[in-house]
Amino acid sequence: MGVNGGSKQIDLEQFGYNLANFNIPDERGWVAKNETITANEAASLETTLPLEKFLAHCTEQGCKVALSNDPGRYICNFTYFLSLAQTKARPNHHIMVKLIVTGFGKFGPVLINPTTKLATQLKDDPIVHTSFVLEVSAQGVRAALEPLWAEAKDDDETTVFVHLGVHDGTKTILLEQVGYNVANFRMPDEQGWVAQNEVIVADQPDSIRTHLPLETYHAALKAEGLQVELSTDP
């Protein structure tokens, strides 16, 4: 983030330019005069972030925002171009995480599932790739997620799946650390299946831990005053 002293709107910069041309010294006294920032790089680099999507979302929120292709030639552009050059070297040309969020629909006594509302609200969030509601059934889950799992396996982007569920009776957010390779239902799912100590995926271990830094998330949520705990029993 940088500042443009004459602007009264948020400018989303699309390009960084391989040129440093300072009209005032930087904080260490350097006054660049039409100097190349990175040798053997293009004259300009364009971000791969979906700025049009961000623009639409910010505009809907009532913000004054516009796309820009001129970050100036001072330290903001200098920093931006260096970052674009670094991310360009990656196989997917940017450092991005594809975030997929799911909630669940009704089941048993839970006729109104709060995760349905959460998933619906996140559907239009610009940082979320997709967000939708799963049927509370083994077949429904597989049908909805297997194509996304296959796509994630073949994609060079990092894909993070965030599955939101409800624990009827708890007033605390539980961050689940472990998934277990057993299905044991105390009530039928929405298609009538009642699993009894059945293996979910053959040739997989009894349990798998998430690679997400849940301790970091736990601390951040606690700092915001939320009731949240780590859990090993989903």
Same domain? For 20 and 70 the reply is yes
Same domain? For 161 and 182 the reply is no
pLDDT of the residue at 90:
62
70: in domain: yes
Q: Is 17 helix (H, G, I), strand (E, B) or coil?
A: strand
Number of domains in the chain: 3
176: in domain: yes
Same domain? For 154 and 175 the reply is no
Write out the residue range of the structural domain in which residue 44 sits.
10-88
d(CA 5, CA 16): 19
CATH of residue 18: 3.40.630.20
2: in domain: no
pLDDT of the residue at 95:
57
Per-residue pLDDT tens, the chain, 234 aa: give them. 888 877 889 999 999 999 999 999 999 999 999 999 999 999 999 998 888 988 998 898 899 999 998 888 889 999 999 999 887 766 555 556 889 999 999 988 888 999 999 999 998 888 889 999 999 999 999 999 999 999 988 877 788 999 999 987 788 999 999 999 999 999 999 999 999 999 999 999 999 999 889 999 999 999 999 999 999 888
* Residue where one domain finishes, among candidates 88, 105, 125: 88
At CB < 8 A and 24+ separation, what contacts does 110-115 make? 110/166, 110/168, 113/166, 114/166, 115/164, 115/165, 115/166
167's CB contacts (< 8 A; 6+ apart) are 174
* Residue where one domain finishes, among candidates 88, 120, 149: 88
pLDDT of the residue at 140:
95
Contact of 14 with 68, CB cutoff 8 Å: yes
14: in domain: yes
Same domain? For 22 and 75 the reply is yes
Question: What is the residue-wise DSSP string for 182-221?
Answer: -B--SS--TTS----SB-SSTTS-SEEE--S-HHHHHHHH
